[in-house]
């Protein structure tokens, strides 16, 4: 018989994976892995500012992640600094700023290990309601912008010419990314969120024939990784968040051997 806290952890891991999988497909298609890392690293700055201003932590993470995404979009358009350099600057500077601010707040007790690598075993019923309620909203919004976002991934100019408003879809996608990062932070931690977004989606490419099927398979593989990682963590007494990522890596490595299921690239890679 499983304990209540472990059942909550299982539900939380599966819930986050189901949300992250479809979003991760666009990260893979658009080659935005480092962009996702930058938004995730900014979460620590959001936590620090939320604690300093006495705000809700999830709200603080969401606001800062959105701010970083918008700043990156504006700065990349100016072409003052190459985009990859901007990503590196924002990624590491926001993480460092968050750590420094937390160090200055001597009255604040923060479990940095839990923030960086997750504390899924401490998930509460309220957290579960937030994960599944917010997850439904994120998936509904993603379905609503799926066509313009996919078209913009294939050809931005053509999508704009067809009146699909791909830039607006991209902005909404950034907001969804920020929401998922804020929600998933407690499950796998700031440093591992991007892995849960990318690895299941990368593995799903081997098995999917269409972009839509890839999104569904990525969600399923992410949920499988969450289950395997948590039971592995229970069995071998290893950290839960990293164990989920290791399980996702195992799923990805298995997908590399599944050559008979391989599809042609255009079917699952709109970009």
The tokens of 102 are what? Answer: 């937390």
Q: How many C-beta neighbours within 10 Å does residue 125 have?
A: 10
Each domain of the chain, given as residue ranges in start order, spans 4-268
Segment 53-106, tens digit of pLDDT? 988 888 899 999 999 888 887 877 777 778 788 888 888 999 999 999 998 988
Q: Cα(222)–Cα(138) distance, rounded to whole angstroms?
A: 16
Q: Is the pLDDT of residue 262 over 90?
A: no
pTM of the predicted structure, to 2 decimals: 0.89
Q: How confident is the model at residue 226 (pLDDT cuts 50, 70, 90)?
A: very high
Averaging pLDDT over each range in 32-41, 136-145, 201-210, which range is the top one?
Answer: 136-145
Closest CA to 223 of 24, 56, 14, 11: 14
pLDDT of residue 259: 54
- Banded pLDDT at 265 (limits 50, 70, 90): very low
**Structure token pair of residue 260:** 């008979």
Question: How does pLDDT run across 37-54, given as a tens digit for each residue?
Answer: 888 899 999 999 999 998
Give pLDDT, residue 1.
56
**Quick one: CA dihedral 118, 124, 127, 132, positive or negative?**
positive
CATH topology of domain 4-268: ABC transporter involved in vitamin B12 uptake, BtuC (1.10.3470)
């Amino acid at each position: 018989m499983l304990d209540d806290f472990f059942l909550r952890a299982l539900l939380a891991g599966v819930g986050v994976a189901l949300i992250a999988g479809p979003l991760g497909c666009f990260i893979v298609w658009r080659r935005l892995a480092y962009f996702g890392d930058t938004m995730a690293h900014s979460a620590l700055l959001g936590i620090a500012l939320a604690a300093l201003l006495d705000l809700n932590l999830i709200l603080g993470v969401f606001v800062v992640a959105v701010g970083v995404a918008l700043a990156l979009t504006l700065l990349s358009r100016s072409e003052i600094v190459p985009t990859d350099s901007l990503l590196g600057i924002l990624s590491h500077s926001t993480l460092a700023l968050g750590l420094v601010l937390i160090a200055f707040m001597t009255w604040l007790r923060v479990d940095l290990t839990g923030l960086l690598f997750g504390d899924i075993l401490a998930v509460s019923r309220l957290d579960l309601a937030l994960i599944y309620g917010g997850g439904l909203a994120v998936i509904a919004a993603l379905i609503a912008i799926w066509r313009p976002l996919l078209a913009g991934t294939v050809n931005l100019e053509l999508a704009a010419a067809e009146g699909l408003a791909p830039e607006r879809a991209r902005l909404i996608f950034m907001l969804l990314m920020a929401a998922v990062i804020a929600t998933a932070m407690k499950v796998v931690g700031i440093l591992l969120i991007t892995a849960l977004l990318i690895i299941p989606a990368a593995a799903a490419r081997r098995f999917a024939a269409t972009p839509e099927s890839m999104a569904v398979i990525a969600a399923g593989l992410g949920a499988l990784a969450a289950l395997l990682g948590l039971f592995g963590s229970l069995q071998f007494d290893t950290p839960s968040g990293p164990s989920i990522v290791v399980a996702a890596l195992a799923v990805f490595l298995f997908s590399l051997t599944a050559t008979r299921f391989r599809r042609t690239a255009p079917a699952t890679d709109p970009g």
